[in-house]
Amino acid sequence: MTWRIQGASGAWEAVMGLEVHAQILTVSKLFSSAACAFGAEANAQVNLLDAALPGTLPVCNDHAVTQAVRTALALSATVHETSVFERKNYFYADLPLGYQISQYQQPLATEGELEVEGEDGTRRIGIERLHMEQDAGKSVHDMHDSASFVDLNRAGVPLMEIVSCPDLRGPKEAASYLRRLRALLRTLGTCDGNMNEGSLRCDINLSVRRVGDTELGTRTETKNVNSVRFVVQAIEREAARQVAVLEEGGVIVQETRLFDPNKGESRSMRSKEEAHDYRYFPDPDLLPLVLRAEWIEQQRASLPELPQARARRFEETFGLAPSAAWLLSEEPDNAEYFEALICGGRDPVRCANWLVTNLFSALNESGIEIADSPVSPDELGVLLDLVEQDKLSGRQAKEVFEEMWQGGKSATEIVKARGLEQISDADTLRAAVELALNDNPEQVEDFLSGRNEKVAGWFVGQVMKATGGKANPQLANRLVQEALAKRKS
Amino acid sequence: MHSDLSSFSATAGLQELRNGSFTPSEWLESFVARIEACGELNLYISDTTETARESATQALSRYQDKTARPLEGLPIAIKDIFCTKAIRTTAGSKFLSNFVPPYESTVTARLQEAGAIVLGKTNLDEFAMGSSTEHSAFGATHNPWSHPDKPLVPGGSSGGSAAAVAARAAPVALGTDTGGSVRQPASFCGVMGFKPTYGRLSRHGVIAYASSLDQPGIFARSLADVELLYRTAAGHDPLDSTSAVCSVDAASSPLPNLSGVKIGVPREYHTKDLDGEIESVWQQGAETLRQLGAEVEEISLPHTEAALAAYYVIAPAEASSNLARYDGVRYGLRAEGDHKSLDAMYEASRSLGFGKEVQRRILIGTYVLSAGYYDAYYNRARRVRALVAQDFAKAFERVDYVLAPATPSAAFPLGAEATADPTWMYQQDIFTVPVSLAGLPALSLPAQLNKAGLPLGLQLIAPAFGERELFAAAALFNEALDFKAVPPGLVASGANR
């Protein structure tokens, strides 16, 4: 259902675009040889260029370019054979050069798209452009009461800016866009997607208009929205704020707003009038970036299977439900786990359901990544095989899994130790059924006379009780029906 | 004997060192003495005599060990815009008066790795912005050709280097040429000044003025010296993305004459400001080339006048951005005081650290790049630049070289500019700027003295990467020009040929 904001005077719709800054996964910075690992001591990863010493010159990191090109290709964008690095000029203490090297008029790639799942079902969201740029350093204002400090570790770190078209219409859609983009980047290995480390940052452009209007309203840009949850929150708040302003007869000011994750609110940072004139011009220290068409094609041909294609394959080849297929494709590690689990010929649908319902909730609860799961695909496979062979019931399997999760023991060991193995041997169970029938002639009579045919279920319960819950319930049911039917004749 | 040694050219001096006629230390001391004698000219911002003396001693051992490198023991002067490790590098600016680079520029590193010894860092217009070396935070440099009562400028921005070579306070020197900063002072000081093709010499470690134009250049009193330094310093540098990837050609081989060579003389260079004496030197130069067997014909470079305007948009635009890093946060000057904001700190430091001409060009550059003016100025200037390059490309379809004056006048008096319109000084660059915009190699050769006894220079301009052919043709031309004059007070010597 299309997302609407219900105002006092009627329904409104929101028009949104996301600008995502993704840190390119590389060893060194975009134009210098300094490292860009996360978490280093302040100013430990700074070379002469990063500190903008006189006479130093930028040299482009080829690997960063390759990474950005692969990302653009995965987004079905057109990668341009010639793109140009420009200087975006502004003064700030954490911008040593006094300009950021970015791409402006001739970006690396344009016209891509990404399929999302949101309020309006499956839709394709356009991607206007993908370009490369340097990150700035970090100013620290709270370490001293009269001095500020600057950490240049991030200065010059390579980023991809991925700008969507204003195609998004709802918070779910926006959340899906961000989630799927992140999955894509992680699958490509071009960005680690760690939003809490700042590797992936998101700004939201949003305007509202009355349902049916075709003209766009004035937009605001909300910066620093750094989790999927905050994206939903920021959109809901900002859309509601704009509707309230407009309904009260006010106007939306074109401005940049800063999202505060602690309060879940945004506040105005600067208006259009205060906006910088960045005086972009081509960086004379760098030649235009020229890529050979055949090289671009080589990159395209060597792309890995992307999450959406994988989800489609899981649906089509294995018959998974779309939601399960996506959950297992989203993260490369999920897919790897799933494919390892089914590789012994196990039923993909059952395996998928088990992962989605049991393994993922266990991972969520303990807050660990699937790659660090204490239960490996092989170990889980043994457990699922026991279920498949009717040696364990579903409920028993869950109990065994919980113990496996604590670590150390295999499924077979736990089953043995707990004496849990399900009784699926027909002769053993038939004996238990006969015993139950013989012990309860009254109930047998109720069944035979037709007074109460539901009593069959009661007998299954008796068999379960007699076997300490180990009887295979389906088999027990069948044998009870058979035994009663025999007495009837 | 020592004072005579300063008259040796680099090539001749190195030969004597190899022969053992004198030692590197003796040669060095002759320049140390000259630097001291020329103190009033204010040639150097910093001298490095002590380390140079140590290097000279080591150079002698290398000669004795027979491990001497090609430039072993050659003293060189370096424009104070090349970063030199552990040697203060100021760019002629108060802002960098305390800046000691932790690294060495590629060009100075290559020369030193070949055995050259740094004499010191020469004076310049602040951040290479100027044509007189008066815009230096360390005082003006005087032209060694000045009359004692009437000091003249050495030209600029590499005025210290040009004057040092002319005054024999160095055998050779490095400069940088953005719009003529090597060729114009060479002409004013009666020495050779060479600007290679853009990209031939690495800009890594050269403090930037206008990155798309800046190119290291060489001052010498002999053409062999120019070629020697050029060939030692040139070649691809992975640290400079604009460094040309093509390899440096083999040394030039002598030509018997210039028959079959075509020389173009641009019609548009007969400007109204062109000094009559220079006009005639130019004509005589053309005649000399004819006598050497060359064909001389008139060519057209129709965008010459627009080139100057384009240059004074593009260069300040790039400078406004290149100089943004001087904010007093990490190095250089920071104005003292209790600044109310970061912007206030920038403003105070930059106002204090930058001289007037630098501030003027930053303002111009900021203006031409700002929203609303960008297309009218910066973009239009870039289009003009492309047309200027096209002018030369068309000319070089017909001719092999272009012959032009280096400057519209001889060296002008110190302080003349202060009373003139700033655009008057910009006009000084009319013959050098188009070559810079097109990125071409050009050599300024001293040709004659004018009636006032001041040197006048001519430029020989070649197609891009045509250095080897340029040197071969210039060798014959230079020999025929036979410029032997030396500044007053110096004795002409055969040793500098």
CA distance A47 to chain B (A): 11
Closest CA to B221 of B281, B141, B134, B161: B161
Whole-angstrom Cα distance, residue A256 to residue A239?
Answer: 15
Place of tokens 């002008």: B412
pLDDT at residue A274, as a whole number: 67
The sign of the dihedral angle between the CA atoms of A40, A42, A46, A49 is: positive
Q: Note whether B199 contacts A: Cβ–Cβ < 8 A.
A: no
Q: How many CA atoms lie within 13 A of B174 on its CB side?
A: 36
List all residues 6 or more positions away from A171 whose beta carbon is below 8 Å from its beta carbon.
A3, A231, A232, A235, A236
Q: How many CA atoms lie within 13 A of B183 on its CB side?
A: 34
Lowest mean pLDDT among A427-436, B33-42, B129-138, B451-460: A427-436
Q: Exactly one of B30, B105, B157, B349 is catalytic; which is it? A: B157
Interchain proximity B324–A89, CB inside 8 Å: yes
Nearest CA in chain A to B328: A93
CB contacts < 8 A, A to B, total 100
**Interface probe, candidates A272, A285, A287, A289, chain B, greatest B C-beta count within 10 A:** A285
Q: Would you say residue B493 has pLDDT above 70? A: no
Q: From the list A48, A55, A99, which residue is nearest B206 (CB)?
A: A55
Place of tokens 């602040």: B126
Give the burial class of B465: count Cβ atoms within 10 A of its Cβ; 0-12 exposed, 13-18 middle, 19 or more buried: buried
Dmax over Cα atoms in chain A, in whole Å?
Answer: 103
Chain B, window 268-327: residues with a beta carbon less than 8 angstroms from a chain A beta carbon: 317-318, 320-321, 323-325, 327
Interchain proximity B204–A57, CB inside 8 Å: yes
- B67-99 pLDDT, tens per residue? 999 999 999 999 999 999 999 999 999 999 999
pLDDT band, residue A272 (cuts 50/70/90): low
CA distance B493 to chain A (A): 38
Interchain proximity B96–A99, CB inside 8 Å: no
Interchain proximity A89–B203, CB inside 8 Å: no
Q: What is the pTM of this model?
A: 0.88
Cβ atoms of residues B31 and B75 within 8 Å: yes
Interchain proximity B203–A52, CB inside 8 Å: no
Interchain proximity A54–B342, CB inside 8 Å: no
Whole-angstrom Cα distance, residue B219 to residue B159?
Answer: 10
Interchain proximity B207–A56, CB inside 8 Å: no
Q: What does each C-alpha distance from B50 to A32, A329, B4, B46 come to in angstroms? A: 34, 69, 22, 12
Cβ atoms of residues B242 and A285 within 8 Å: yes
Nearest CA in chain A to B89: A54
Interchain proximity B91–A54, CB inside 8 Å: yes
Interchain proximity A55–B342, CB inside 8 Å: no
Residues in B touching A286 (Cβ below 8 Å): 241-242
Q: Work out the average pLDDT over A191-201.
A: 90
Q: Would you say residue A236 has pLDDT above 70? A: yes
List all residues 6 or more positions away from A146 whose beta carbon is below 8 Å from its beta carbon.
none
| A→B interface, C-beta within 8 Å | 48, 51-60, 87, 89, 91-93, 96-99, 148, 150, 277, 279-281, 284-287
Beta strands in B329-488 (DSSP E): 401-405, 442-449, 455-461
pLDDT at residue B107, as a whole number: 98
**How much of chain B exceeds pLDDT 70, in percent?**
98
Predicted-assembly ipTM surpassing the 0.85 threshold: yes
Closest CA to A84 of A353, A278, A346, A291: A291
Q: Exactly one of B6, B131, B161, B181 is catalytic; which is it? A: B181
Which is more confidently placed, A125 or A9? A125
Q: Hey, what long-range contacts does A446-450 have (CB within 8 A, 24 or more apart)?
A: A447/A484, A447/A488, A448/A484, A448/A487, A448/A488
Beta strands in B164-245 (DSSP E): 172-177, 192-195, 215-220
CA distance A63 to chain B (A): 16
CA distance B124 to chain A (A): 16
pLDDT band, residue B291 (cuts 50/70/90): very high
Q: From the list A48, A99, A286, which residue is nearest B241 (CB)?
A: A286
Q: Is B181 a catalytic residue?
A: yes
**Of all helices (H) and strands (E), which one includes residue A266?**
strand A265-271
Whole-angstrom Cα distance, residue A222 to residue A18?
Answer: 10
Q: From the list B330, B346, B370, which residue is nearest A277 (CB)?
A: B370
Q: Exactly one of B6, B25, B79, B105 is catalytic; which is it? A: B79
**Interface probe, candidates A101, A150, A281, A290, chain B, greatest B C-beta count within 10 A:** A281
Whole-angstrom Cα distance, residue A155 to residue A141?
Answer: 17
CA distance B332 to chain A (A): 10
Whole-angstrom Cα distance, residue A290 to residue A285?
Answer: 15
Q: How crowded is residue A16: how many other Cβ atoms within 10 Å of its Cβ?
A: 27
- Residue B228 carries which side chain, given as an amino acid letter? L
Q: From the list A53, A89, A96, which residue is nearest B101 (CB)?
A: A53
Q: How crowded is residue A53: how many other Cβ atoms within 10 Å of its Cβ?
A: 20
Q: From the list B207, B342, B378, which residue is nearest A55 (CB)?
A: B207
Cis peptide before B157 (omega within 30 of 0): yes
Cβ atoms of residues A58 and A101 within 8 Å: yes
- B234-266 pLDDT, tens per residue? 999 999 999 998 877 777 888 899 999 999 999
Lowest mean pLDDT among A224-238, B52-66, B126-140: A224-238
Q: What does each C-alpha distance from B280 to A282, B295, B451, B457 come to in angstroms? A: 42, 18, 12, 12
Which is more confidently placed, B424 or B131? B131
pLDDT at residue A484, as a whole number: 86
Q: How many CA atoms lie within 13 A of B291 on its CB side?
A: 12
pLDDT at residue B496, as a whole number: 43
Nearest CA in chain A to B99: A54
Q: From the list A97, A280, A281, which residue is nearest B325 (CB)?
A: A97
- B469-487 pLDDT, tens per residue? 999 999 999 999 999 999 9
Q: Would you say residue B49 has pLDDT above 80? A: yes
Q: From the list A52, A55, A284, which residue is nearest B212 (CB)?
A: A284
Q: What DSSP designation does B442 have?
A: E
Interchain proximity A59–B331, CB inside 8 Å: no
Which range of A115-124, A143-152, A226-235, B37-46 scores highest in mean pLDDT? It is B37-46
Closest CA to A39 of A186, A145, A141, A192: A192
Residues in A touching B82 (Cβ below 8 Å): 55
pLDDT at residue B497, as a whole number: 37
Interchain proximity B325–A57, CB inside 8 Å: no
- Residue A38 carries which side chain, given as an amino acid letter? F
Q: How crowded is residue B8: how many other Cβ atoms within 10 Å of its Cβ?
A: 24
- B394-453 pLDDT, tens per residue? 999 999 999 999 999 999 999 887 777 777 777 888 999 999 999 999 999 999 999 999
Q: Would you say residue B385 has pLDDT above 50? A: yes
Q: How crowded is residue B18: how many other Cβ atoms within 10 Å of its Cβ?
A: 12
Give the three-state DSSP class for B334: coil
Closest CA to B216 of B268, B178, B254: B178
Chain B, window 36-65: residues with a beta carbon less than 8 angstroms from a chain A beta carbon: none
Interchain proximity B239–A48, CB inside 8 Å: no
Q: Would you say residue A62 has pLDDT above 80? A: yes
Q: Work out the average pLDDT over A411-433.
A: 76
Chain B, window 65-104: residues with a beta carbon less than 8 angstroms from a chain A beta carbon: 82-83, 89, 91, 96, 99, 101-103
Q: Note whether B240 contacts A: Cβ–Cβ < 8 A.
A: yes
pLDDT at residue B79, as a whole number: 98
Q: Work out the average pLDDT over B388-397.
A: 97
Interchain proximity B370–A279, CB inside 8 Å: yes
| Domains of chain A in sequence order | 5-298 (no CATH), 302-418 (no CATH), 426-488 (1.10.10.410)
Nearest CA in chain B to A280: B369
pLDDT at residue B435, as a whole number: 98
Cβ atoms of residues B409 and B454 within 8 Å: no
* Mean of per-residue pLDDT scores for chain A: 89
Whole-angstrom Cα distance, residue B67 to residue B73?
Answer: 12
| Domains of chain B in sequence order | 2-259+406-496 (3.90.1300.10)
Lowest mean pLDDT among A461-465, B177-181, B184-188: A461-465
* Mean of per-residue pLDDT scores for chain B: 94
Interchain proximity B103–A87, CB inside 8 Å: no
Residues in B touching A93 (Cβ below 8 Å): 327, 329, 342
Alpha helices in B38-105 (DSSP H): 49-65
Cβ atoms of residues A15 and A243 within 8 Å: no
pLDDT at residue A273, as a whole number: 64
Q: Work out the average pLDDT over A2-22.
A: 92
Which is more confidently placed, B256 or B4? B256
pLDDT at residue A165, as a whole number: 97
Which range of A175-184, A231-240, B205-214, B372-381 scores highest in mean pLDDT? It is B205-214
